[in-house]
């Protein structure tokens, strides 16, 4: 039986039981993650950094975040010739960052193109150790001023939503989801990268679980200058595969076994064409383009067994764009409910905004709860509603964290 109440006199919150089998207990589960050097992840991360830097410039100049959305981004692959022992870059990557940003306010002019370019190069320089942001990437900003009606929202006293948008978050992560995140972070961690310098940062992991057996297919770009021969490539490839499998096997909790396959397109009979070699450690150098919104969800995975929202959070305005705020907030609220309310095995949280409506007063707030054995949703509902009310009341602090870039969106 579902319950509907008004939290703080305003928010309609619907709490209902969720039937069926929890994702972690389903026979088949598929989860994907794209690593820090993947072209789609680069686009998401750069778009978010552009928003953070725009927020900083606006706050420093006029004391508030002005209208902007930098959530349109496209990374055009360059042209390289990878070779054993070291190849060359013939043409740089091209990164386009765009949409809308306020250029003039309070008697101040904002060079948004320069801000965006500096943000992009700064992020690339800090996170992609083989990529020179000055030589290997051309950054182009297409940010333009926004419409009058949407820009006017930022001058109103009440913080109103700039869109009608819905979002969904859930908790907890399944063991498969946790292991996929752990695997990519391990491979891109400083300890592993020091032990295996030939490992690039463009990593894609696809995990398929059947019952209690987990299989991972990993694509990992090798940096050619650390690979002197084909024999060395395949030797190090096997060493990396064994190392990752041993690491993951030690992390298993409820699963029985994990297997790892690495760079399955390789073919030893095809010479350099049969190895995943790159010059800069990312396929964006010459093999694959990237786009904002095609990468990980804000909780770090692409979970094919879960409902998935359509919003691309990266780069969107952190104080007005509910597509971004609610996408992160639903996961946050779900996590708080699952941790704080005893008797809940799994929870899905839904928020829907209405353009112009205060962001702390969603048009719809809902929790679908899968109770633990012996628990009753009717008894759990008041505690769930209290978490909703508390987190919605604290939404300004949440958006301030987004403004400062404290919450990862990929």
Locus of tokens 């508030």: 64
Is it the case that residue 394 has pLDDT exceeding 50? yes
* Span between the terminal Cα atoms of the chain, in Å: 36
Question: Is the pLDDT at 148 greater than 50, yes or no?
Answer: no
Nearest to 385 by CA among 396, 397, 377, 374: 377
Specify burial of residue 385 (Cβ count, 10 A radius: 0-12, 13-18, 19+).
buried
Q: Does residue 209 lie within any of the structural domains?
A: no
Please report whether residue 115 resides in a domain.
Answer: no
Does residue 242 carry a pLDDT above 80? yes
Question: Do 337 and 348 meet the contact criterion of CB atoms below 8 Å apart?
Answer: no
DSSP code, position 116: H
Asked if residue 13 has pLDDT above 60, the reply is yes
Would you say residue 318 lies in a domain? yes
The answer to whether residue 112 scores a pLDDT higher than 80 is yes
Strand partners, 258: 214
Q: What pLDDT is stored for residue 8 in this prediction?
A: 43
Predicted local distance difference test score (pLDDT) of residue 405? 95
Q: Report the chain's mean pLDDT, rounded to a whole number.
A: 93
Task: Answer positive or negative: Cα dihedral of 157, 160, 162, 168.
Answer: positive
Taking the CA atoms of residue 111, residue 290, residue 173 and residue 2 in that order, the dihedral angle to the nearest 10 degrees is: 80
Instruction: Name 207's bridge partners.
Output: 31, 216
Model pLDDT for residues 290-316, shown as the tens digit of each residue:
999 999 999 999 999 999 888 889 999
How far is residue 389's CA from residue 399's CA, in Å, rounded to a whole number? 16
Q: What is the pLDDT of residue 3?
A: 53
Reported as a single tens digit per residue, the pLDDT across 37-88 is 999 999 999 999 999 999 999 999 999 999 999 999 999 999 999 999 999 9
Q: Name the DSSP letter for residue 273.
A: G
* CATH assignment of the domain containing 11: 3.30.300.280
23, part of any domain? yes
3-state DSSP call for residue 80?
Answer: strand
For the CA atoms of 351, 356, 357, 358, the dihedral, rounded to the nearest 10 degrees, stands at 100
Query: Is 388 part of any domain?
Result: yes
* Predicted local distance difference test score (pLDDT) of residue 149: 42
- 3-class secondary structure for 18-66? CCCCCHHHCCEEEEEEECCCCHHHHHHHHHHHHHHHHHHHHHHHHCCCC
Is residue 153 over pLDDT 70?
no
pLDDT of residue 9: 44
- What are residue 69's DSSP bridge partners? 100
Q: What angle is formed at CA 382 by the lines to CA 376 and CA 384, rounded to 5 degrees?
A: 85
What total number of domains does the chain contain? 1
CA distance 256 to 176: 12
- Is 184 a member of any domain? no
**DSSP letter string, 302-370:** EETTS-------TTS-TTT-HHHHHHHHHHHHHHHHHHHSTTEEEEEEEEE--TTSBTTS-SEEEEEEE
**pTM of the shown model:** 0.93
pLDDT at 2: 55
Q: How many angstroms separate the CA atoms of 335 and 171, rounded?
A: 5
Structural domain including 391 reads 3-27+162-174+297-403
Residue-wise pLDDT tens digits, 159-175: 788 899 999 999 999 99
Report residue 273's pLDDT band, with 50, 70 and 90 as the boundaries.
confident
In a domain, residue 390? The reply is: yes
Q: What CA–CA distance (Å, rounded) separates 162 from 67?
A: 10
Q: Is residue 11 part of a domain?
A: yes
Q: What are phi and psi of 284, to 5 degrees?
A: -65, -15
In terms of phi and psi (left: phi > 0; alpha: psi -120 to 50; beta: otherwise), the region of 4 is beta
Find the helix packing angle between 377-393 and 395-403, rounded to 10°: 60
Q: Which helix (H) or strand (E) holds 289?
A: none
- How far is the C-alpha of 390 from the C-alpha of 343, rounded, in Å? 20
Percent of the chain residues past pLDDT 90, beyond the cut: 88
Task: Give mean pLDDT, residues 360-379.
Answer: 94
């Amino acid at each position: 039986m579902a319950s509907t109440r008004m939290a703080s006199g305003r928010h309609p919150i619907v709490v209902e039981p969720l039937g069926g089998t929890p994702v972690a207990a389903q026979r088949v589960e598929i989860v994907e993650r794209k690593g820090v050097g993947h072209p789609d992840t680069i686009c998401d991360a750069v778009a978010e950094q552009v928003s953070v830097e725009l927020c900083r410039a606006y706050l420093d100049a006029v004391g508030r975040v002005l209208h902007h959305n930098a959530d349109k981004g496209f990374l055009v692959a360059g042209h390289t010739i990878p070779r054993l022992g070291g190849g060359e870059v013939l043409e740089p990557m091209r990164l386009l960052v765009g949409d809308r940003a306020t250029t003039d306010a309070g008697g101040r002019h904002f060079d948004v193109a320069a801000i965006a370019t500096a943000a992009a190069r700064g992020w690339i320089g800090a996170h992609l150790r083989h990529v020179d942001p000055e030589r290997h990437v051309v950054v182009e900003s297409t940010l333009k001023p926004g419409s009058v009606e949407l820009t006017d929202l930022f001058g109103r006293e009440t913080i109103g939503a700039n869109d009608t948008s819905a979002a969904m978050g859930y908790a907890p992560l399944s063991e498969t989801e946790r292991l996929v995140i752990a695997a990519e972070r391990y491979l891109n961690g400083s300890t592993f990268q020091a032990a295996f310098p030939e490992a690039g940062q463009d990593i894609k992991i696809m995990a398929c679980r059947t019952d209690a057996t987990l299989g991972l297919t990993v694509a990992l770009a090798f940096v050619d200058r650390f690979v002197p021969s084909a024999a060395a490539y395949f030797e190090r490839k096997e060493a990396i595969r064994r190392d990752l499998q041993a690491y993951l096997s030690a992390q298993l909790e409820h699963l029985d076994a994990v297997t790892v396959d690495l760079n399955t397109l390789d073919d030893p009979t095809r010479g350099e064409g049969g190895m995943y070699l790159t010059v800069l450690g990312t396929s964006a150098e010459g093999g694959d383009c990237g786009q904002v919104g095609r990468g990980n969800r804000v909780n770090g995975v692409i979970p094919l067994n879960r409902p998935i929202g359509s919003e691309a959070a990266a780069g969107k305005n952190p104080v007005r764009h509910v597509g971004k705020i609610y996408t992160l907030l639903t996961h946050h609220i779900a996590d708080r409910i699952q941790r704080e309310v005893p008797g809940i095995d799994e929870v899905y949280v839904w928020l829907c905004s209405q353009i112009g409506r205060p962001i702390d007063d969603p048009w719809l707030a809902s929790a679908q709860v899968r109770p633990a054995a012996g628990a009753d949703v009717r008894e759990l509902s008041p505690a769930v509603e209290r978490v909703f009310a508390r987190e919605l009341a604290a939404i300004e602090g949440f958006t301030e964290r987004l403004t400062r870039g404290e919450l990862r969106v990929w």
